Structure 1
Amino acid sequence: MTILNTATAAAAPAVPAEQRLNSLLLRKLLPLLVIVYVMSFLDRTNIALAKASMGIDLGLSAAAYGLGAGLFFLTYALAEVPSNLIMHRVGARFWITRIMITWGLLSAGMAFVQGETSFYIMRLLLGVAEAGLFPGVMLYLTYWFDREQRARATGYFLLGVCLANILSGPLGGALLQMDGLLGWHGWQWLFVIEGLPAVALAYVVWKKLPDGPASAKWLSEADKRDIEQRLSAEKAAAPPQTRLSQMFRDKQIWLAIAVYFVHQITIYTVIFFLPGIIGTYGNLSPFQIGLLTSVPWIAAAIGAATFPRLATTPTRCRMIMFFGLLTMAAGLVIASFSNSFIGLVGFSLTALMLFVVQSIIFVFPSSRLSGSALAAGLAFVTMCGLFGGFVGPSVMGLIEQTTGSTRNGLWVIAGLLVLAALISTRLRQGQEEKAQA
């Protein structure tokens, strides 16, 4: 029996050391980061479900709602670069913990808005509080994963958005039905019950999240050396792009920003207006609207878990981005022509590629920057792109109020996505330009 067991063990294929280490990093880091991102997205987008009842109770028009939804991204974007530079200096564990505590308290405080002015102020403050989380995690992943694995890790991280939107529909619909309990409106319960858990999770982040490989107790010394060697080799192969002045002159950074800007217009317009569009499909309860709102995000989760792992070379990255952006455009066109199940299929087609594209976009600028320029550069790309989160909902709200329909807005976004697809074919990673020089 012993001889048989020994022979079987010898015949079993050994797991390559690099594959084992990558699996360990994904298993140890991504679950907590995904949960953090789930909560952040719940708290920044739960006004989508609260829109109808808040509009009645506070007298908010469609344009006021769209402006308030977008104002979050105005301060969020402006605070991205300083927030990421602070994280680079003080460490991920402390700074992400701080971000979570402040955004959780402010999100719960949304329950106490009284009208348009306080609604706008709270959305602006919430944007400042949460600023730095996404680019901070993008920076944090560069401490652990080389370029080949970074798109995969980013894709898994972005599953948090999918999970948040899958959960937010049924959960938000159920919380809205608490209307009248203890004299509170349903939307007030929604903000408080979804906001405070972020404060509790901040303690877990403080205890469990290492600042980098050197402080990870679950890594062996050999594993730490392996990570350091891989990242050092990647840094040595990259073009010397370490100063902020060089970053602003790099046309590739601006191409990535253009694509990301259109992407953010798309995603946040869909997030903030999808429940209202589904509400026009028939006589549906808040809970039923919430359930149907989850369907496209299930498609988004499938896309995020499937396609980014294929983006292992610059050519594949561009190809997946190009066809992903065209697929998103096609989905919005389909959705604009239907008030029923077919429209939901169109939104699902768009959502399928939302986080596939987003997980790949940041591979391009991160391949061209290092040190503090990498921290500032990723935040700068995020900041500029997130102005799309302000523009999309604001313009869509105006279109809905002036025309009584969202169809024209969906057509405009579809056209922008086609333009972004063409721009994506011009993106190049750092090592490509070095090879061509």
Structure 2
Amino acid sequence: MTPTQTLPFDPPAADDALARRTIATVTWRLMPLLGLMYLIAYIDRQNISYAKLQMVGDLGLSESVYGLGASLFFLGYFLCEVPANVILERVGARLWFARIMATWGLVTVLLGFTQNTAMFYALRFLLGVAEAGFFPGVLFVLTLWFPQAHRAAMIGWFMIASALANAVGAAVGGALLDLDGTLGLKGWQWVFLSTGLPALVLAVVVLRALPDGPEAAPWLDRAGRDWLADTLLRERDTGGKVEHGNPFAALLDRRVWMLASVYVAFPLAAYGLSYWLPTVVRSFGVSNTVNGFINIIPWVVTGFALWWVPRHAARTAEQTWHVVGPGLVAAAALALSVVVPGSALKFACLCVAAAGIFSAQPVFWSLPPTFLKGASAAAGIAAINSVGNLGGFIAQNAVPMIRDRSGSDLVPMMFLSICLMLGACMVFVVLAALRRDASRRVADASGTAPEGIRHA
């Protein structure tokens, strides 16, 4: 496995074989389960994009009402994200992830019995509350299992599950809609019921199979545990990382807010695209089932990009362009999807856009743990993700408003393109500032900084 950046210390050569064996063991034992959890979680987020195709008409919802209801997920998510991650750091991943999955599965099933607008709003908000802490929780958990050099690749593997989820959701969502009338249920009801039940089952699996940390993993031998503990300890004690006495103090860390401010553009573009892609494809004049299968294509392309981009970042030892580059390519593709002629070219642009939006994120998410540790890292990661995911809230309200006023499914893509371009360009400024800050803190910690410019 190729590291994504140089470690701040050089492990002895004698440890190389042990390191490779330990990382490989942890990867194959941990990542498939985390990926499966994220796949189910992402399907339960995205199922509404397919249910919408029938649900809006059956419940008498307008496009704007639907957009607000869909966006309330992100409001609940935003409010509960940081507390959820702080609790995870205290009670452990096994118990907390099982709780998250059980509650989001239950709320998803209940969405299948939505009767009116108020119930739709309440359940979407509760779904955000239930799932809060999962994605940033996994990012924090990865800091307990993998040295910094391996995290971008692991986050890439983890996020491939989101691409698979969109592909599976696309195929299954369209087919479930065509079950309309089976057993007296609407097609959109089948969408929620069939995607909520797997989360309830997986909650039980998590309780039995997920260790809270390396020291509790029965499949990791003593030598591997000792090497991992020593490596992670030396990383935490190197480079001026901060752990606040109160983890919520991480919310006042300017570096957290700098990263959150640029990250918001990526979820905005991602959710704006993925929630509305089925509607765009439907304008091609295809059936629900064909719509679903066509929507597999963008996520296959995205899965490949999620695998390739972190590894290319590793080989070149470069981070900035592996965040900015995919973001700018995606912004250009979104803009082109509005102006190019023909359905095939428009759809090809949306495929490229999806790949760029998602593949920039693994390298981005390898950054926050480099300046925070412990509970502060848990809170900081959650803060960045919760603020960033307000982009989803913005997208779910702005995109339908733009669509209603323009009468086009493609014009909203221009709005997403501009937001993504601005966010990607600001990454240059933020990462440069983070590097200067890291250099200063290392110098302060080593006592090499001039007396007049040392900082507390």
Q: Same fold (TM over 0.5)?
A: yes
Is this contact kept in 1: 2:145–2:228, CA < 8 A?
Answer: yes
SS at structure 2 position matched to 1:425: helix
- Corresponding position of 1:218: 219
Greater alpha carbon shift after TM alignment, 26-35 vs 111-120: 111-120
Is this contact kept in 2: 1:155–1:355, CA < 8 A?
Answer: no
Measure, in 2, the Cα distance between the counterparts of 1:347 and 1:127.
27
Match of 1:425 among 421, 428, 446: 428
- Corresponding position of 1:197: 198
Give the drift of 1:115. 1.9
Is this contact kept in 1: 2:48–2:70, CA < 8 A?
Answer: yes
Q: Which amino acid aligns with 1:421?
A: A
Q: Which amino acid aligns with 2:275?
A: F
Gaps of 5+ in 1: 1-13
- Corresponding position of 1:369: 372
Measure, in 1, the Cα distance between the counterparts of 2:294 and 2:50.
12
Is this contact kept in 2: 1:328–1:354, CA < 8 A?
Answer: yes
Give aligned pairs, total: 423
Q: Which amino acid aligns with 1:270?
A: L
Give the drift of 1:406. 3.5
- Corresponding position of 1:412: 415
Measure, in 1, the Cα distance between the counterparts of 2:215 and 2:387.
32
The alignment's C-alpha RMSD in Å is 1.8
Give the drift of 1:344. 1.1
Q: Which amino acid aligns with 1:187?
A: W
Measure, in 1, the Cα distance between the counterparts of 2:283 and 2:319.
37
- Corresponding position of 1:6: none
> 2:375 aligned with 1:385, yes or no?
no
SS at structure 1 position matched to 2:258: helix
Give the drift of 1:432. 4.5
Give the drift of 1:161. 0.4
Give the drift of 1:431. 4.7
Is this contact kept in 2: 1:149–1:312, CA < 8 A?
Answer: no
- Corresponding position of 2:161: 160
SS at structure 1 position matched to 2:389: helix
- Corresponding position of 1:4: none
Is this contact kept in 1: 2:280–2:410, CA < 8 A?
Answer: no
**Cα distance change on mapping 1:156 and 1:432 into 2, 3 Å:** farther
Is this contact kept in 1: 2:80–2:132, CA < 8 A?
Answer: yes
Measure, in 2, the Cα distance between the counterparts of 1:406 and 1:435.
50
> 2:97 aligned with 1:105, yes or no?
no
Post-superposition Cα deviations, 1:67-97, rounded to whole Å, max 9, x if no partner, equal 1111101101110011001111100000000
Measure, in 1, the Cα distance between the counterparts of 2:384 and 2:371.
13
Measure, in 2, the Cα distance between the counterparts of 1:396 and 1:209.
39
Give the drift of 1:232. 1.1
- Corresponding position of 1:10: none
Post-superposition Cα deviations, 1:254-278, rounded to whole Å, max 9, x if no partner, equal 2211221000101101111000011
Q: Percent identity?
A: 35
Post-superposition Cα deviations, 1:12-69, rounded to whole Å, max 9, x if no partner, equal xx98332222121111100011111110111111010111211111111111111111
Measure, in 2, the Cα distance between the counterparts of 1:257 and 1:314.
26
Q: Which amino acid aligns with 1:35?
A: L
Measure, in 2, the Cα distance between the counterparts of 1:383 and 1:242.
20
TM-score normalised to structure 2 length: 0.89
Q: What are the residue-to-residue correspondences of 1:30-69 with 2, within 5 Å?
A: 30-69=31-70
Is this contact kept in 1: 2:152–2:362, CA < 8 A?
Answer: yes
Gaps of 5+ in 2: 1-14, 444-448, 450-456
TM-score normalised to structure 1 length: 0.93
- Corresponding position of 2:179: 178
Measure, in 2, the Cα distance between the counterparts of 1:417 and 1:403.
21
Match of 1:291 among 293, 299, 324: 293
> 2:106 aligned with 1:143, yes or no?
no
> 2:293 aligned with 1:270, yes or no?
no
Measure, in 2, the Cα distance between the counterparts of 1:268 and 1:146.
30
Measure, in 2, the Cα distance between the counterparts of 1:72 and 1:131.
10
Is this contact kept in 2: 1:365–1:378, CA < 8 A?
Answer: yes
Q: Which amino acid aligns with 1:302?
A: F
- Corresponding position of 1:128: 129
Give the drift of 1:252. 2.9
